[in-house]
Amino acid sequence: MPATIRDVARESGVHISTVSRTFSAPHLVNAETRSRVLACAEHLGYRPNRAARALITGRTHNIGLIVADIANPFFPPLIKAAESQARQRDYHIFVTDTNEDASVEEDLVRALAKQVDGVLLCSPRMSNSLIEQLSREVPLVVVNRQLTGLPTVVMDVAQGARLAIDHLNGLGHRRIALVAGPRGSWTSREIRRSAMSAARAGDADLTVIGPNQPTEDGGMAVAEQIVRAGVTAVLAYNDLMAIGLIEGLTAQGQRVPEDVSVVGIDDIALSRLTRPKLTTVATPTAAAGRAAVDMLLAHGDDRRTTAQITLQTELVIRDSTGPGPGPHSHADPGGVVATALGDVASYAKE
């Protein structure tokens, strides 16, 4: 049987409220009393019961984190960073996985709502209006989706997509495909919009293929369409799809980058390990995880500042892109860091 506040009170000869204060408002307790209480608590192995505390304060010191797919390598660095940031502030994180299914997101948020102080919604597939509705039931921070009136953390994928298209264009590619992400993904829409306009500006054709599952298989599945489309370069929604696509293209007898150049997005750890090494747009996922936790916890202090932060992305040129058939402009934006909005200094990539 674990020790309660009453055991500590008895042993240290004070009232339970003094014990309570020792833990929740130490400055209100005489230093001497405090150390005696602390000693007894230590000795009894006492730990405040968070459920009891939550019942009365209304704060659970728990955070919910909902991701589309834990096993998608994009998420673990985000989860890890969020967990670490939360723990540092004495919060614990419930991690849940929606299996890329928009319809379970709502249930998950509601199921979590009662036992957390807020929910980090990462890459939600549900509608904006539903998100807004849920935000009235539990504090929400939305990651990977822009939404007015709510605190959000997004990567500047528009800038990233532009850098990628410009890079391909600079290499002489004029017929480019965009392999889109899943339905309901804000990021995918954003990439599409930005890639379109960048392609137009560069006098290139952009063929959009999708929506698709944002997985390796999803990428592999479109290889044939890519070949049929007759493009010489591809921008994929994420690295996993890019890698699957390269796999698929290879199976179709296409060489990357000699026949087709491929660019991914995210710069997951994996992208440095495949052959050819993937050219990709790096997104600061760990920073996003930390920022999201900070925003959620700051939220309580001042309800009116619903900050929206945009984290910068950058193009990482590796081996999956090469010269295309068109004229090369050597204004190659390789390695150039995208401009970003908002206060990102403290969330620099590790």
Partner DNA sequence: GTGAAAGCGCTAACAC
Partner DNA sequence: GTGTTAGCGCTTTCAC
Helix (H) or strand (E) holding 87: helix 75-88
Spatial separation of the C-alpha atoms in residues 184 and 188, rounded to whole Å: 8
Answer yes or no: are the C-beta atoms of 8 and 15 closer than 8 Å. no
> In the complex, what is the shortest distance from the CB of residue 23 to DNA, in angstroms, rounded to a whole number?
5
Residue 80's binding partner out of a second copy, DNA, none, with CB under 5 to 8 Å set by partner kind: a second copy
C-beta of 146 vs 274, nearer to a second copy: 274
C-beta of 5 vs 344, nearer to DNA: 5
Nearest in space to 347 (alpha carbons), one of 263, 305, 284, 298 = 284
Choose the binding region for a second copy from 24-32, 81-89, 290-298, 317-325 (rule: CB under 8 A): 81-89
Spatial separation of the C-alpha atoms in residues 271 and 70, rounded to whole Å: 18
- The reply to whether 49 sits near a second copy by the rule CB under 8 A is yes
Spatial separation of the C-alpha atoms in residues 163 and 195, rounded to whole Å: 9
Residue 127's binding partner out of a second copy, DNA, none, with CB under 5 to 8 Å set by partner kind: none
Spatial separation of the C-alpha atoms in residues 121 and 263, rounded to whole Å: 27
Nearest in space to 96 (alpha carbons), one of 112, 80, 85, 77 = 112
Summarize as ranges the residues that interact with DNA (CB under 7 A).
4-6, 13-18, 20-21, 23-25, 28-30, 32-34, 46-49, 52-53, 55-57
- Binding a second copy (rule: CB under 8 A), the pick from 112, 126, 198, 309 is 112
- What's the CA dihedral at 85, 101, 262, 71 to 10 degrees? 50
Q: For residue 125, count other CB atoms closer than 10 A to its CB.
A: 18
Residue identified by tokens 């200094």 is 345
- The reply to whether 200 sits near a second copy by the rule CB under 8 A is no
> In the complex, what is the shortest distance from the CB of residue 42 to DNA, in angstroms, rounded to a whole number?
14
C-beta of 52 vs 201, nearer to DNA: 52
Spatial separation of the C-alpha atoms in residues 296 and 138, rounded to whole Å: 11
> In the complex, what is the shortest distance from the CB of residue 13 to a second copy, in angstroms, rounded to a whole number?
25
- The reply to whether 175 sits near a second copy by the rule CB under 8 A is no
C-beta of 4 vs 254, nearer to DNA: 4
- The reply to whether 130 sits near a second copy by the rule CB under 8 A is no
Answer yes or no: are the C-beta atoms of 179 and 236 closer than 8 Å. yes
Spatial separation of the C-alpha atoms in residues 226 and 283, rounded to whole Å: 25
Choose the binding region for a second copy from 29-37, 148-156, 199-207, 270-278 (rule: CB under 8 A): 270-278
Distance of CA 93 to the CA centre of its chain: 15
Q: Would you call 129 helix, strand, or coil by DSSP?
A: helix
> In the complex, what is the shortest distance from the CB of residue 199 to a second copy, in angstroms, rounded to a whole number?
29
Choose the binding region for a second copy from 8-16, 106-114, 302-310, 325-333 (rule: CB under 8 A): 106-114
> In the complex, what is the shortest distance from the CB of residue 115 to a second copy, in angstroms, rounded to a whole number?
5
Answer yes or no: are the C-beta atoms of 25 and 37 closer than 8 Å. no
C-beta of 23 vs 74, nearer to DNA: 23
Query: What is the phi/psi pair of residue 80, to 5°?
Result: -60, -45
- The reply to whether 47 sits near a second copy by the rule CB under 8 A is yes
C-beta of 32 vs 350, nearer to a second copy: 350
Query: What is the phi/psi pair of residue 156, to 5°?
Result: -80, 70
Q: Give the number of residues in contact with a second copy, rule: CB under 8 A.
A: 46
Residues near a second copy (CB under 8 A) are 2, 45, 47-52, 54-55, 60, 62, 69-71, 73, 75-77, 79-80, 83-84, 87, 92-97, 99, 110-115, 137, 216, 243, 247, 269-270, 273-275
